[in-house]
């Protein structure tokens, strides 16, 4: 049997009071959370508004700067300091040439190491005077040696020439004698290289103790070590694959020792490291049967005798910058085989058809002509390899019977 007892009124009141207190407290907490959330939303909106304002201000500043830059470029379209320097240097160079046509003494090219150094150290454009050969005075050679023959120091159908800058020694590819002859810069016979190891040497290039010699007949390039005059390595072989060659002609090296080979019948320049490992090929549609190549900074100068113009300036990536030297100046048809570049960026070419040396300005204008056809001293018979020593001596070889190598200084 169950008994029920009524709940006392004071207990009911106490429970109701507690419930109401709990509800009020929950409502207070909820209100506090709502106010806190609203505050965060309000702050986020203000931050977004501030960020948007800052972003708009930045856009306005960039737009204004772009407009100012466009106005500057509209008034002065030069877009780089190098272009400004080049134009100023060209203007000074033109003035100097106008006043002293036979004694151009101004270096302006911005891609030469000496000129870059002078600008970076002094913080301003400066004039650099350099010594170059006096081509106008080269009527007769100072020294002429190398008569036709097969004895040491004699030449039989010589081709390429290279100069060891550390010693001023002259290396001559003695084609039909199957060796390289070495002379001093005064014409004294010193030594020979590659006897019994070379066949029909054609082109030569030197970098420090490394001598690179091409054989167009064997389609090879050989590397010799000057310290012991030994053959280190040989590459090539007839073909068009990377590392193969097809009638390689003259070659050249750059300051870091890369070897650039005029791969004639492949219509390209084959580039190798100092150990003759193939790196890349440089090709361009205007490069047809290249005979000679020179490298200056990031430019490659390629001589193509069968082209008019015949000198092509190409980047290392194969983009053509310009073509120079034509036969449209009232001179006979040009057919140069070899060339070098002096310190004023003039092109010095051995010219086959006129049997002479021709000097062209960097713009391709004829400046001087040295020599004529014949077998006397000061004359040439099919002049070929040519070079300039560090002490301004011009060297050229030809098929002259008595004076196969001639020195002008």
Residue 202 pLDDT > 60: yes
368-379 pLDDT, tens digit per residue, is 999 999 999 999
Give buried/exposed letters for 202-238 (b at 16+ CB in 10 A, else e): bbbbbbeebbbbbbbebbbbbbbebeebebeebbbee
pLDDT at 124 over 60: no
DSSP symbols for 271-299: EE-TT--EEEEE--TT--S--EEEEETTE
Residue 221 near residue 202, CB atoms below 8 Å: no
Q: What are phi and psi of 49, to 5 degrees?
A: -65, -40
Number of H helices, E strands in the chain: 3, 24
Output DSSP code: residue 337.
E
Query: pLDDT digit string (tens) for 34-45?
Result: 777 777 777 777
pLDDT at res. 88: 64
Each domain of the chain, given as residue ranges in start order, spans: 81-122, 136-408
Query: What number of other Cβ atoms are within 10 A of residue 195's Cβ?
Result: 14
Residue 46 three-state SS: helix
Task: Please tell me the predicted confidence (pLDDT) of residue 75.
Answer: 62
**CATH topology for 136-408?**
Neuraminidase (2.120.10)
| pLDDT at residue 327 greater than cutoff 90 | no
Q: Convert the pLDDT of each residue in 127-168 to its tens digit.
A: 445 567 889 889 899 999 999 999 999 999 999 999 998 899
């Amino acid at each position: 049997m169950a008994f029920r007892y009524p709940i006392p009124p004071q207990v009911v009141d106490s429970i109701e009071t507690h419930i109401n207190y709990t509800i009020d407290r929950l409502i207070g907490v909820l209100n506090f959370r709502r106010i806190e959330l609203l505050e965060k939303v309000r702050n986020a909106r203000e931050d977004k508004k501030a960020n948007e304002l800052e972003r708009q201000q930045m856009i306005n500043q960039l737009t204004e700067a772009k407009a100012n830059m466009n106005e500057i470029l509209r008034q002065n379209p030069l877009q780089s300091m190098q272009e400004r320097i080049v134009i100023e240097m060209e203007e000074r160079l033109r003035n100097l040439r106008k006043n002293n046509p036979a004694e151009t003494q101004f270096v302006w090219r911005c891609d030469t190491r000496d000129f870059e150094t002078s600008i970076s150290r002094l913080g301003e454009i400066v004039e650099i005077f350099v010594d170059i050969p006096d081509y106008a005075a080269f009527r007769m050679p100072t020294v002429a040696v190398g008569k036709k023959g097969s004895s040491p120091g004699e030449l039989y159908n010589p081709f390429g020439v290279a100069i060891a800058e550390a010693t001023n020694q002259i290396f001559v590819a003695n084609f039909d004698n199957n060796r390289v002859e070495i002379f001093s810069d005064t014409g004294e016979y010193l030594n020979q290289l590659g006897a019994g190891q070379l066949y029909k040497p054609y082109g030569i290039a030197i970098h420090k103790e490394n001598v690179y010699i091409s054989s167009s007949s064997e389609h090879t390039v050989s590397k010799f070590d000057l310290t012991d005059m030994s053959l280190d390595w040989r590459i090539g072989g007839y073909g068009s694959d990377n590392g193969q060659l097809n009638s390689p002609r003259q070659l050249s090296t750059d300051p870091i020792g890369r070897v650039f080979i005029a791969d004639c019948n492949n219509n390209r320049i084959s580039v190798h490291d100092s150990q003759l490992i193939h790196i890349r090929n440089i090709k361009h549609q205007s490069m047809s049967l290249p005979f000679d190549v020179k490298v200056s900074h990031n430019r490659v100068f390629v001589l193509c005798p069968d082209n008019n113009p015949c000198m092509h300036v190409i980047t290392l990536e194969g983009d053509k910058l310009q073509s120079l030297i034509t036969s449209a100046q009232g001179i006979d048809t040009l057919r140069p085989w070899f060339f070098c570049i002096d310190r004023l960026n003039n092109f010095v070419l051995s010219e086959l058809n006129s049997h002479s040396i021709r000097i062209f300005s960097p713009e391709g204008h004829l400046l001087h002509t040295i020599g004529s056809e014949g077998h006397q001293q000061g004359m040439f018979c099919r002049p070929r390899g040519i070079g300039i020593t560090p002490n301004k001596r011009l060297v050229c070889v030809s098929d002259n019977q008595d004076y196969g190598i001639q020195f002008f200084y």
